Amino acid sequence: MDNSELQPIFDFMRKLAPFDMLHEQTIKQCCKALTIVYYSKAQKLVHVDTNEAQLYIVRSGAFEVSTQQGELIDRIGEGQFFGFSGMLSGEKVVNQVHILEDGLVYHLPAKIFDQLRADCYQFDRFFNRAFAKRLRDQGSLNRSAINTARITNIMSKQLTTISRKASIHEAALLMANHRLSSLVVEENGQLCGILTDRDLRNRVLAKGLDGNTLVTTAMTKDPATIETDSLIFEAMLKMSENNIHHLPVMSENQPIAMITSTDLIRSQSSQPLLLIGQIQRQPDLESLIQVSQKIPDLLYNLISSDAKASEIGRILTSVTDALTRRLISLKQQDIGPEPMRFCWLSFGSQGRQDQMAGSDQDNALILEKETNEQEAKYFKQLSEYVCSALNECGFPFCPGNIMAQNPEWQLSLQQWLQQFSQWIKTPDPTALLHASIFFDMRPICGDIRLFEQLQKSVLSRTCNNDIFIAAVSQNALQSTPPLGFFRSFVLERDGSEVKGIDLKHKGNALINDIVRVYALSAGIEEVNTNKRIQSLIKQSAIDKELAMNLLDAWEFIAHKRLINQGHQFDHAQTVSNYILPDSLSSLVRHQLKDAFKVIYEAQSTIKLKFLRQF
């Protein structure tokens, strides 16, 4: 096209959001790349080429997007778009586009669309928010797009197992007869390992072993596993991180099913997993900072899809974990491998896997042994880089300086053991403050055995330790839910300004504190609050009705907190944990009061149980 033909297209595009945010030269380049297609109503459907993704820009006419089942998703007219959902999610296009009125449509190649998103944050945000709206409009139809479904939805209902004493010949026959690529190897109902096609190739055929070889010789011992309540997204992440294609599904320490990479592919891809994949591929800090700018939009999409708050927390935390690991890897490419074994720990919300908007960083290092000058310099460089980079990626420095870059929290395993022992032995106010942070710890990167030794020692000292548990119980009662006389809300103020109800510190954090007391007393390894409650129920270490009420209250408060943050994000407001009661319906205000009442009753219970106070 010559300039005279391009001019009307350019005049249209430069006024069209979000192209109006781009430089004129960039818009002109887009115009040159466009293909113009005329669609007649007689055609009925737009043929969307799944092999050549592109953005469809409606110049004139009217179109309707629906599911394969015929359910309406959206109606599109002049100046609107379709085709972007598949490019953002990475999923195969399955929706149908019906032609309601004859019209012209501009086709923009995916390569240029992706480049515009990478170069312009506002452009990228526009389509991410449009995608979130599409998810919201589709409701439950597209929940698989973010994989908040659980693995129970895709795993096989029958498990084929074989004894560790069986022969390879028997295993191969069993796999062939059932058309399986793997078997669970067990003994007396306990998982011993798994046997896969790859094991047969690499450990039997390649080594010239015969069919009488025992299964135990060829199987993969101590395989990675996953629990039944895990998300599809988490299974994808575990397979990706461990470069494996089979995961035994466990329930109460026994294998009950097997899921494979094929099962996950059938469940379609995951937007969070795509973001994590992007993080893992970035070559430097600058590109990681750019990718991290997509995290708020991911949160917005998750909120819009009406996912559970506990699931959103786990997904966001997985992204933070991936970012932390990538930063460690990048720095080690510069300074070389670690001079000794180490483990990067996370605490607080990242440790509990309940991160939300505005979460800061709480982390530390466990070192194999005390460092000499050269070794100390290495970990100083590593920790300062990672903490500073996390801050630049949107995870602020901890106000209390509980970070790996602080030499106070770069300790050998023995020093950590002594530190926890001191806190538990002498639970003064400083120790109790640390208890609310450091006792919610989880390994992120490095040698997990260092963490396991530390956690095992800590729990052995807290379990049934009446003096320490009484102290942390007293500390958990220092703050109370925001209910006044006659169950009216108590609002927080900043000078003359009414900030509202702090749903984090006066809601979820209080439940975290209560459940932590029970968990430390019972010696429970779980760190996530919901999983701690479930473990407490299994051990009969908490009244079941109280536990279920706490689960419901935590989820309800966290959900309202997320919905409020989504509203703040949508209206370009500062994202916070505060909510004004007047913004809630009378029903929600009543439910929120009930949730706070559950916290009040749970605090009364720990006062009676662990402090012997009535």
What pLDDT is stored for residue 143 in this prediction?
42
Instruction: Quote the number of domains for the chain.
Output: 4
How large a percentage of the chain has pLDDT more than 90?
55
Note if the pTM is more than 0.75.
Answer: no
Using the predicted structure, report yes or no on whether residue 479 has a pLDDT greater than 80: yes
Using the predicted structure, report yes or no on whether residue 448 has a pLDDT greater than 50: yes
| CA–CA separation, 200 and 206 (whole Å) | 8
Q: Mean per-residue pLDDT for 40-65?
A: 86
What pLDDT is stored for residue 494 in this prediction?
64
Domain shared by 310 and 435, yes or no? yes
**Domain coverage including residue 119:** 3-145
Domain shared by 442 and 294, yes or no? yes
**Highest mean pLDDT, choosing among 215-219, 235-239, 307-311:** 215-219
**Highest mean pLDDT, choosing among 41-45, 242-246, 262-266, 492-496:** 41-45
In a domain, 115, yes or no: yes
Using the predicted structure, report yes or no on whether residue 487 has a pLDDT greater than 70: no
Using the predicted structure, report yes or no on whether residue 137 has a pLDDT greater than 60: no
Domain shared by 422 and 287, yes or no? yes
Domain shared by 223 and 321, yes or no? no
> What is the number of other CB atoms lying within 10 angstroms of the CB of residue 177?
9
What pLDDT is stored for residue 155 in this prediction?
76
Confidence of residue 52 (pLDDT cuts 50, 70, 90): confident
Confidence of residue 343 (pLDDT cuts 50, 70, 90): very high
Q: Mean per-residue pLDDT for 73-91?
A: 81
3-class SS shares of the chain: helix, strand, coil, % to 5? 55, 15, 30
How large a percentage of the chain has pLDDT more than 70?
92
Confidence of residue 393 (pLDDT cuts 50, 70, 90): very high
Tokens encoding 121: 């944050």
Domain shared by 414 and 283, yes or no? yes
Confidence of residue 141 (pLDDT cuts 50, 70, 90): very low
What pLDDT is stored for residue 341 in this prediction?
97
Domain boundary among 411, 442, 462: 462
| CA–CA separation, 383 and 406 (whole Å) | 8
Domain shared by 375 and 320, yes or no? yes
What CATH number does the domain containing 546 carry?
A: 1.20.120
Lowest mean pLDDT among 145-149, 547-551, 586-590, 594-598: 145-149
How far does the chain reach from its first CA to its final CA, in angstroms? 85
Domain shared by 300 and 390, yes or no? yes
| CA–CA separation, 133 and 130 (whole Å) | 5
In a domain, 468, yes or no: no
Q: Mean per-residue pLDDT for 303-314?
A: 81
Domain boundary among 242, 266, 290: 266
Confidence of residue 268 (pLDDT cuts 50, 70, 90): very low
What pLDDT is stored for residue 142 in this prediction?
43
**Highest mean pLDDT, choosing among 4-18, 62-76, 446-460:** 446-460
Domain shared by 116 and 166, yes or no? no
What CATH number does the domain containing 318 carry?
A: 3.30.460.10
Using the predicted structure, report yes or no on whether residue 1 has a pLDDT greater than 90: no
Torsion of CA 69, 74, 78, 80, to 10 degrees: -110
CA dist 234 → 148, 241, 326, 436 (Å) = 9, 10, 18, 27
What CATH number does the domain containing 159 carry?
A: 3.10.580.10
Q: Mean per-residue pLDDT for 268-274?
A: 62
* Pairing of the two strands 62-66 and 410-412: unpaired
What pLDDT is stored for residue 472 in this prediction?
94
Domain shared by 354 and 248, yes or no? no
What CATH number does the domain containing 28 carry?
A: 2.60.120.10
In a domain, 450, yes or no: yes
Using the predicted structure, report yes or no on whether residue 270 has a pLDDT greater than 70: no
Q: Mean per-residue pLDDT for 511-515?
A: 97
Confidence of residue 272 (pLDDT cuts 50, 70, 90): confident
Tokens encoding 298: 């991911």
Q: Please name the residues in contact with 409: beta carbons below 8 A apart, sequence gap of 6 or more.
A: 363, 364, 365, 402, 403
Confidence of residue 145 (pLDDT cuts 50, 70, 90): very low
Domain shared by 480 and 390, yes or no? no
In a domain, 467, yes or no: no
In 336-372, which residue ranges form alpha helices assigned H by DSSP? 348-352
| CA–CA separation, 58 and 111 (whole Å) | 19
Average pLDDT, the chain: 87
Confidence of residue 121 (pLDDT cuts 50, 70, 90): confident
Confidence of residue 267 (pLDDT cuts 50, 70, 90): low
Domain shared by 385 and 283, yes or no? yes
Confidence of residue 463 (pLDDT cuts 50, 70, 90): very high
What pLDDT is stored for residue 269 in this prediction?
41
Torsion of CA 28, 32, 34, 39, to 10 degrees: 110
Tokens encoding 596: 């706070």
Domain shared by 224 and 292, yes or no? no
